[in-house]
Amino acid sequence: MAPANISMALPVVKLATDCADYADTLAPYLDQLRPLPSLITEHITSAAALKQLYIDTNPFVSGLAISLFLSPFFLFAAELNQNWSQIDRVWSILPTLYNAHWMIWAHLSGLSTERLDLRLFVSLVWSVRLTYNYWRRGGYNIGSEDYRWAIIKRRIGQPWFFILDVTFIALAQNVLLFLVTSPSYIALLVSRLDTANNDRALTSLDYYFAGQILYLIGQTWLSDQQQWDYHSVKHQYQKTARVPTHCGFTAEELDRGFRTSGLWAYSRHPNFTSEQLVWWSFYLWSSLLAGKPFNWTIVGPVIYSLIFVGSTPITEYISEGKYPEYKEYRQQVGMFLPKSFSAPRFSGRYSPKKKRIADGNNYATKKNAEDYAQAKTRYDLR
């Protein structure tokens, strides 16, 4: 099933299950990546030729090429500004642009786009919510940076951190934001097959998963809003030493320093949980359409989840240093999934041996004061 030449951009499939077969639908086209830069350079002065090259190139290959092309720019910006949150600023935007790429390619190729349009719409809702939350937490302020990078840099040293920047921060993360949308390639192939078989463009499965993802986006918004409301009240309380009227929190809850009610009573990071499930749902959507629950596009959501699993302990290391009762919270409440559905209980013990270091309205133990200094302006994009 290998393409006869570069103009043959998609495989011919006869069954839905074939759409999720890596060996037949993707492997034969990866060789298109190597000559692509020279072909673009050759046709750079002709918009019509570039458009035809775009159509003639397998859409996975062209999407991957875009992610690889962007990576050096993020590396250059990070090293120039000594700020390693460059890709964080587009984390909420790039996946939707890649989903737009799948739709645009199908449209220019004369394929049915109803399913890809629906996926793009849901992805756009995800982008708007996450971009807004990132903005209100100060992510787009000049000089803002995820505090965890400074901690990692101090731990591993500059030479190793530069290697991390080249391989992971600028390159791997950028490619990952494309890979989480790779299930749309399967959706594109299934839609093409449905059109050939005169089947309906959208099925109940499409509407179910679109609704599920919108629900998960709502859950993520609720989690972030609950956290936002709590810290807004807490900062007001710390300024006035009075619990605001009708705020919904007690002085004990506000003195604790972190939220343990609402969705946060069942998960230490309910927003992270819903965020991961969004992209797992995109994966399952395409996989079930093809009738292959396990296929090669699982790589995207798996790596996406591994980033959360790897980075969240750093966040919690800081929180445990700032809040004496956070250790009890960790013991009772699961990181992502609930351990139980009962509200966490606290002993009320406060260790006077841990010296609190005041800095504005926040506190840290002496042990983690240096790390906390990096976290004064704190935001979590992912």
Q: What is the C-alpha separation between 228 and 234, in angstroms, rounded? A: 10
DSSP per residue, 176-229: HHHHTTTHHHHHHHHHHHHHHTT--SS-HHHHHHHHHHHHHHHHHHHHHHHHHH
Return all residues near 261 (Cβ < 8 A) that are at least 6 apart.
226, 249, 253, 343
Closest by alpha carbon to 285, among 185, 205, 380? 205
- Tokens 């400074």 appear where? 150
pLDDT value at residue 352: 35
pLDDT value at residue 254: 94
Rg (CA), the chain: 24
pLDDT value at residue 261: 94
Q: What are phi and psi of 334, to 5 degrees?
A: -70, 155
Return all residues near 322 (Cβ < 8 A) that are at least 6 apart.
257, 362, 363, 364, 365, 368, 372
Say what the pTM is.
0.88
Q: What is the C-alpha separation between 37 and 55, in angstroms, rounded? A: 15
Span 286-307, pLDDT tens digits: 999 999 999 999 999 999 999 9
pLDDT value at residue 6: 34
Question: Which regions of the chain are under pLDDT 50?
Answer: 1-7, 351-382
8 Å CB contact between 332 and 345: yes
